[in-house]
Amino acid sequence: MDYVRLKGLLSSADSGERHSPTPNTNKVNINISAIPSKSHLHRLLICAALSDKPTFIKCAHKAHEGADIKTTINCLLALGAQIERANGGYKIAPIDRANLPDKSILPCAESGSTLRFMLPIVCALGISCELQMSGRLPERPMKHLEDELIRGGIHLWRPQANVLCCEGKLGTGEFHLPGNISSQYISGMLMALPLLDERNSLHVSEPIESEGYIDMTLEVLRAFGEVPQKSRTLYETGDARGFRSPEIITAEGDWSNAAFWLAAGALSNGNVRLSGLNLESTQGDKAICDILAQMGAIISWDDDFVCVSHGQLRGIEIDASNIPDLVPILALVASVSVGETLIYNASRLRLKESDRLVSTCSVLNTLGAKITEEADGLRIEGVPHLTGGVVDSHSDHRIAMMAGIASLVSMGDITVNGSGAVDKSYPGFWEEELLTRTREV
C-alpha cells in the first residue's frame, strides 16, 4: 500500500512543557549525500539537448531521477535527443536541428518546470506541439507566458483542459514578462531566445520573485556558451550562435531537498551532515541555513559539508517570496519553536502540487501543531512537541517529506498516506538512514 508508518521518537520524559524537544533514542548523527538539484538538472538536460555536440552530465546519486526529471527527459526524447543513463550521470546526444519533427507530443505530466521551459523552446524551434498535462498542472498560471508567445506570432489553443497546442515560429524582437508570477516563465524564455535568428531582449517587470532561479538559468547558459547581458530587469540574448557543449558538466546538489535533512538536524539532539552542496550556489533555497540559524539552530560548514545541530529554537518572521519550497519544512520547525512564527508572501504556494498553505496547515495541525492559515501565509504558535496521527500527503512530495521529518518531534507514531508522492523529486527519500531508523516495514 502507498503509505509509511514512522515511530514517534519522543518519550513522555521528553515532552514536559518545554520547546525544542530532545529525542529519546541515541543521538542522531547522520551523514547524507545531497541528491542533485532538480532545478539545475532540468536546465542542464535542456541546454545539452540543444547543443552542438554531445554532453556528459555528472549526476551520480542513486535517488536523483524523480518523476519531474523523467518528464523533461521524455520531452527531449520526443524532440529527437538521445539520452542514455550512464555510470555517474547522463550521456546526451543533441537534437538534430536540421531534421526537427514537424509535430511532436510532449508529455509534461505534473512538471511545471518542464511545461514552462519547453513551451517557449518549441515555439522558438518552430515545432508544432501538443503539450499534455496531468494532476494540478493545468490549473497553474500560464496566461502571461502564453500571451507573450501569441504576441510573438505563435498560435496557441487548448482543445481540452489538460492539453495545450502550439503552432508557428516565434519572431524576434522585444519580449515582456512579469517578474512576480513565476520565474519559470523567464527561465524558459532565456533558454529559447538563443535559438532565434537575431539578438533579442527580454524585459521583466518588478518585483522579481525567486530571482535565484533566474540566476541559475543564466549560469547554465554561460556554461553552454551563451553570455546573456543583464541590466537590472533587461536581458539581452540570442544571436543565432546556438548552445556550445562544455562536454562534461556536473549537476549541483539540491538545496530544496537538502532542507528537510538540515531541518532534521535542528530538531534532533545530534547533528545531520550534508555533503555535495555548493555553498556558492545561486539556488534560492540555500537560505535554509540562514533561516535555521535565525531560529536558533547551530550551523557549521567545511568545504562542501553543511552540518546542522540542535539549538533552542524560537519563532521568527519569514518572507517566503523567494523561498516558497521551504515553507512546509520551515512550518514544521516553527511548530515546535518557542513563540510565534509568521510566514508571509507565500500565496504562490496555493498553486503547487497541492494548495500548500492548506495542506501544510492541515497535516501539521492533525499531528498536534497550532497553525492558522492566512491569505498569503501561515501563523504558527510553537508547542512543546507533536502528538502523531494519520495524515495524507495531498499527492505533494514536499508535504509527504515534511510529515516524515515530523516523526523526530512526535510523541506518537505518524502514518503518511500517499507516501509515494516523494517520487516526484526524491524517490529514495524513505530509504535514507535517518528514516529507516523510525520507519516500520
The rounded Cα 424 to chain-centroid distance in angstroms is 10
Instruction: Give me the numbers of helices (H) and strands (E) for the chain, helices first please.
Output: 13, 24
Among 167, 158, 166, smallest CA distance to 137 is for 158
Q: Is 40 helix (H, G, I), strand (E, B) or coil?
A: helix
Are the CB atoms for 42 and 113 separated by under 8 Å? yes
Q: CB within 8 A of 387, min separation 6: which ones? A: 367, 368, 410, 411, 412
pTM exceeding 0.75: yes
Q: State the pLDDT at residue 372.
A: 97
Phi-psi category of residue 293: left, alpha or beta, with phi > 0 → left and psi -120 to 50 → alpha: alpha
Residues 49, 245: Cα–Cα separation, whole Å: 9
Residues 82, 77: Cα–Cα separation, whole Å: 6
Other beta carbons within 10 angstroms of residue 155's beta carbon come to 12
DSSP track, 335-386: HTSBSEEEEES-GGGGGSSS-HHHHHHHHHHHTT-EEEEETTEEEEE--S-B
What's the N-to-C CA distance of the chain in angstroms? 11
Q: Is 4 helix (H, G, I), strand (E, B) or coil?
A: strand
Residues 228, 395: Cα–Cα separation, whole Å: 38
Q: What is the pLDDT along the chain (441 residues), one digit of tens a residue?
A: 599 999 988 754 454 444 444 444 436 678 899 999 999 999 999 999 999 999 999 986 654 578 999 999 999 999 999 999 888 899 999 999 999 998 999 999 999 999 999 999 999 999 999 999 999 999 999 999 999 999 999 999 999 999 999 999 999 889 999 999 999 999 999 999 999 988 889 999 999 988 999 999 999 999 999 888 888 789 987 565 679 999 999 999 999 999 999 999 999 888 899 999 998 899 999 999 999 999 999 999 887 789 999 899 999 999 999 999 999 999 999 999 999 999 999 999 998 999 999 999 999 999 999 999 999 999 999 999 999 999 999 999 999 999 999 999 999 999 999 999 999 999 999 999 888 877 765
For each of the domains in the chain, give its residue range(s) and CATH number, in order of start.
Answer: 3-35+253-440 (3.65.10.10), 38-250 (3.65.10.10)
Q: Is 24 helix (H, G, I), strand (E, B) or coil?
A: coil
Q: Is 233 helix (H, G, I), strand (E, B) or coil?
A: coil
Q: State the pLDDT at residue 209.
A: 86
Q: Measure Cα distances from 359 to 39, 127, 264, 363, 408 in Å.
A: 23, 38, 20, 6, 20
| Burial grade of 1 (CB within 10 A; 0-12, 13-18, 19 or more) | exposed
Among 348, 329, 339, smallest CA distance to 289 is for 329
With b for 16 or more beta-carbon neighbours within 10 A and e for fewer, the 253-267 pattern comes to: bbbbbbbbbbbbbbb
With b for 16 or more beta-carbon neighbours within 10 A and e for fewer, the 360-387 pattern comes to: bbbbbbbbbbebeeeebbbbbebbbbbb
Phi-psi category of residue 88: left, alpha or beta, with phi > 0 → left and psi -120 to 50 → alpha: left
Q: CB within 8 A of 402, min separation 6: which ones? A: 260, 328, 329, 331, 332, 360, 363, 364
Q: Which helix (H) or strand (E) holds 13?
A: helix 12-15
Beta strands 55-58 and 248-250, pairing class: parallel
Q: State the pLDDT at residue 27.
A: 62
Catalytic positions: 325
Could you give the count of Cα atoms lying within 13 Å of 95 in the half-sphere of its Cβ? 25
Residue ranges of alpha helices (H) inside 204-326 are 211-223, 255-267, 288-295
3-class SS shares of the chain: helix, strand, coil, % to 5: 35, 25, 35
